[in-house]
Structures are given as C-alpha cells and as structure tokens.
C-alpha cells in the first residue's frame, strides 16, 4: 500500500506551499497517495459497427440445433466412407460477413445454400485439409503422406465432394425441422470465397464452426447464417420454446421411416425340437437307428429363437412334404418350454 501522510506532515507540506518552497502541483502529487482510490466501474466495450443482434439464448439454441446436426452428419459420413468420422461444434460467434470471408483460405470448397421458404442464402465452407483426404478415401487411397494441393477443385473432385455435401444438406433438413420446415439445397459452388457476396460486407452473420476428424487428418467446416435470413424465425429460438420442442418424441413419419429401413434386415431363426442329457459313454456308443428319449411330448410346443433369444412358441408339422413349424404365440425370454 502507498504511504499515508500523518497530520503533522500534511501541515508542513501546506506551510511549504504557502512560503513558496514547493509549487502547488508537486504538493498535490505528493499528497495524492492519501486520497481514496476511485471505485471501479463495470465497463464493457461496445462496437457500434458490429452490433450483437443475436441474443445469448438464441446463440445457445443454434448451438443445440447444430450439435444434433454434427452427430448425425458424422454418423452419415462414417457409413458412407467406411471409416470413423468425428464431427463436433467448435465455435458459434457473430461476425460481419466481411470478417468471415477474410478468415477463409483461398482456394477452398465454398457452397452456397438456399433454404426455402427462408429468403436469402447461407453458405457452407469446407477446408481443403479435410476435403482432399475425403476425396483420397473415395478413390481408394490410404491418406498416408497425402499432399494437400493449393489449387481449385477439378470438375471430378467437385462431383465427389457433392456426395459429401448432399449428406450435409439432408442432415441440416432434419436438424432444422424442429425450428422450421426448410429444404436446403446447393444451387452453386465456388473456389474463391471473395467472389461471392450473399449480403453486404458489414451485415451481421452467425458463423458456426465445426471440426472434422478422420483418423490422423482433421479440418474445419463453417456454416454462415446471415441474420436477415433467419430473422423471421428468431422468435422460435427462445430457450424455453426450444427446450420444449426438443423434449418431443419421434414423429410418426420418423418411426415409419425407421421401420421401413430395418424391415429388410436379415435375422437368424432357429427352432429347438427338444433337449436332453446323456452320459458320455452312451454318446460314444451311439449307432444308426438308436433312439434318444426326451421328456417333451410329440404335441408339446417347441422354442423358436430369433438371434439366440426365445421369441415365439410353435408346433412341429408338415407343409407340402416339408417339415414345418407353425408359430402359436409370443413368449417371454425367460419362459421355459
């Protein structure tokens, strides 16, 4: 702490000022430590050129929407590429469109997105650091010592990347369905992001940054959402209404789609006629024509197992000169037959 002058030192200092031995400015500087420190004020910097038009609750709601998108997109890419792809939301921030464009590499994979009935356009940029490993994987490469070229994508490469962006668009449709029914589409692509201007340079945009990992390779993906595009639905992004919509169960359409997709899966079905135990000496002496006696009667129900689990009971019979089993009822996994 600074040294505090006592009363005698203050009187001596004032007497020296009156006699001209010390000027008043020096006296004020000397006596300054005795003054009480000014109370600290909570001051925040506000840039009028970059107003925060999206509230924190709305930012959190957008983050929740795209976290679900990241999970589904990662699973879809993993199934498509036959390897593990990790996708996660890295950042959610407000920028001006000019700042967003100048933060992107050139050349890159820049995709324009339309989302009717919303007016205007969004954009999705995917880093070459992950684009070229994906292309290499699609063409049968191993990604070992892969060189990342600094050039625009060729026509063939754009077609391969289109398979990736198509899956991103499908998962965006699903992720946004709780907010608004939209149909995302990619009307145009570009390698140089500076040639594309979807809004004014000083317009506020929400940029959602994703991190994509495929083995040792990693890259970024950015989704740019201009404020004027989502302004009509910003009221639905309130935290309470969004959490309420998230708690809703799966829709009938989603359940029908799941049932349709799994209906073609193959399962193993087994029917057990009977079970018994015999001594090892009897097993070793078995001959053709020997009979094995069980405790199950000929007209008793038998077990029908699906993938190793008892699901049904049935009766043995014959159908068109073939042995057959008629299902009689559904059973529990622990029921003894």
Domain ranges of the chain: 56-247, 268-274+296-337
pLDDT above 70: residue 243: no
* pLDDT attached to residue 249: 52
Span of 9-23, 89-103, 210-224, 267-281 with lowest mean pLDDT: 9-23
With beta carbons less than 8 A apart as the criterion, state whether 173 and 68 touch.
no
Q: Indicate if the pLDDT at residue 280 is higher than 70.
A: yes
Q: What is the pLDDT of residue 67?
A: 92
Out of 40-44, 218-222, 247-251, 316-320, least confident range: 247-251
User: Would you state the pLDDT for residue 254?
Assistant: 78
**Residue 205: pLDDT band with limits 50, 70, 90:** very high
% of the chain surpassing 70 pLDDT: 83
Band of residue 238 on the pLDDT scale cut at 50, 70, 90: low
Look at 326 and 30; give whichever has higher pLDDT: 326
Top mean-pLDDT range of 177-181, 240-244, 283-287: 283-287
pLDDT at residue 73, as a whole number: 93
Task: Over range 16-32, report the average pLDDT.
Answer: 58
* Interstrand relation of 217-226 and 269-272 (parallel, antiparallel or unpaired): unpaired
pLDDT at 86 over 50: yes
> Lowest-confidence range among 123-137, 195-209, 295-309?
295-309
Q: Give the pLDDT score at 158.
A: 93
Instruction: Please report which confidence band the pLDDT of residue 315 belongs to, taking 50, 70 and 90 as the band edges.
Output: confident
Chain centroid to CA 84: 14
Please tell me the predicted confidence (pLDDT) of residue 240.
46
Q: Which two tokens stand for residue 59?
A: 């930012």
Q: Higher model confidence: residue 228 or residue 29?
A: 228
- Give mean pLDDT, residues 94-120: 91
Residues 6+ apart with CB under 8 A from 140: none
Annotation: CATH topology of 56-247 = Chemotaxis protein chec (3.40.1550)
3-class SS shares of the chain: helix, strand, coil, % to 5: 35, 25, 40
Mean pLDDT of all residues in 260-264:
82
Of residues 212 and 144, more confidently modeled: 212
**Phi, psi for residue 222 in degrees, rounded to 5:** -125, 135
pLDDT at 301: 87
pLDDT per position as a tens digit, 111-170: 999 988 888 899 999 999 999 999 998 888 876 777 888 899 999 999 999 999 999 999
Mapping DSSP to helix (H, G, I), strand (E, B) and coil, where does residue 258 land?
helix
Calculate Rg over the CA atoms of the chain: 36
**What's the pLDDT score for residue 232?**
85
pLDDT value of residue 245? 46
76 and 134 Cβ atoms separated by less than 8 Å = no
Assess contact for 285 and 274: CB atoms under 8 A.
no
Burial class (CB in 10 A: 0-12, 13-18, 19+), 140: exposed
Q: CA–CA separation, 277 vs 292, rounded Å?
A: 9
């Amino acid at each position: 702490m600074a040294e505090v002058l006592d009363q005698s030192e203050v009187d001596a200092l004032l007497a020296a000022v009156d006699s001209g031995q010390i000027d008043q400015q020096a006296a004020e500087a000397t006596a300054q430590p005795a003054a009480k420190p000014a109370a600290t004020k909570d001051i925040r910097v506000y840039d009028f050129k970059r107003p925060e038009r999206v509230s924190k609750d709305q930012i959190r709601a957008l983050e929740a929407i795209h976290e679900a998108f990241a999970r589904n997109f990662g699973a879809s890419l993993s199934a498509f590429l036959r390897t593990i792809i990790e996708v996660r939301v890295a950042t959610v921030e407000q920028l001006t469109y000019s700042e967003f464009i100048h933060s992107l590499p050139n050349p890159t994979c820049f995709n324009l997105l339309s989302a009717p009935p919303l007016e205007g356009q969004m954009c999705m940029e995917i880093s070459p650091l992950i684009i070229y490993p994906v292309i290499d994987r699609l063409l049968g490469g191993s990604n070992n010592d892969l060189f990342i070229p600094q050039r625009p994508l060729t026509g063939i490469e754009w077609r391969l990347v289109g398979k990736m962006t198509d899956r991103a668009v499908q998962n965006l449709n699903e992720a946004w369905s709780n907010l608004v029914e939209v149909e995302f589409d990619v009307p145009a692509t570009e390698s140089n992001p500076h040639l594309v201007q979807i809004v004014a340079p000083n317009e506020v945009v929400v940029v959602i940054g994703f991190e994509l990992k495929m083995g040792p390779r990693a890259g970024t993906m950015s989704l740019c959402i201009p404020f004027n595009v989502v302004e009509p639905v910003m009221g639905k992004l309130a935290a309470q209404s969004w959490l309420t919509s998230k708690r809703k169960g799966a829709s009938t359409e989603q359940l029908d789609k799941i049932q349709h997709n799994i209906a073609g899966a193959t399962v193993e079905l087994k029917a057990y006629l009977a079970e018994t135990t015999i001594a090892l000496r009897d097993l070793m002496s078995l001959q053709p024509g020997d009979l094995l006696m069980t405790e199950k009667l000929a007209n008793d129900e038998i077990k029908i197992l699906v993938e190793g689990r008892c699901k049904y009971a049935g009766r043995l019979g014959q159908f068109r000169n073939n042995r057959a089993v008629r299902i009689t009822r559904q059973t529990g996994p622990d029921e003894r037959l």
